[in-house]
């Protein structure tokens, strides 16, 4: 059995979702592949291996590394909270003058709950 083990440690620059500035994030990815021929039975492979099926085409290592790095990226990239510079006014949403105040549709239920005669 042919096995490929990869360990990737890189730094990527992404846009912080809090402050919208660039943040440099360390990315670590580790994977172990069991290389098999296309259509081979993979039931007998040990657990913990990702199956990498190869056909007639040569293995594209660059695409394999790129895919592993994409999978290791954070879903929501952000600075550490103490390092993040949030935009001014991001803490408190301002109420608009044009905003219509709406009544709570469940306020009637709250009144019924307080009324002992019901």
35 falls within a domain: yes
Are 19 and 84 in contact by the 8 Å Cβ rule? The answer is yes
Total domain count for the chain? 1
Sequence-distant (≥ 6) Cβ neighbours of residue 13 within 8 angstroms: 22, 23, 24, 25
pLDDT of res. 2? 80
Give the structural domain span for 56.
2-72
pLDDT of res. 12? 92
111 falls within a domain: no
95 falls within a domain: no
The pLDDT averaged over each successive group of 10 residues in the chain (118 residues) is: 86 89 90 81 76 82 89 88 67 58 76 70
pLDDT of res. 9? 92
Point out which residues pair with 52 in neighbouring strands: 35
89 falls within a domain: no
11 falls within a domain: yes
Strands 50-54 and 22-37, bridge-based pairing: parallel
pLDDT of res. 61? 86
- Of 64, 54, 60, 52, the closest CA to residue 8 belongs to 64
């Amino acid at each position: 059995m042919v096995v490929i083990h990869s360990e990737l440690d890189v730094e990527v620059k992404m846009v912080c979702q809090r402050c919208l500035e660039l943040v440099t994030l360390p990315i670590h990815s580790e994977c172990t592949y069991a290389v098999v021929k296309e259509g081979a039975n993979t039931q007998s492979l040990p657990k913990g291996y990702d199956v990498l099926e190869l056909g007639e085409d040569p293995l594209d290592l660059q695409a394999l590394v790129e895919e592993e790095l994409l999978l290791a990226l954070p879903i929501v990239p952000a600075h550490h909270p103490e390092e993040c510079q949030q935009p001014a006014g991001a803490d408190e949403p301002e109420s608009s003058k044009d905003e219509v105040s709406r009544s709570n549709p469940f306020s009637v239920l709250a009144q019924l709950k307080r009324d002992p005669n019901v």
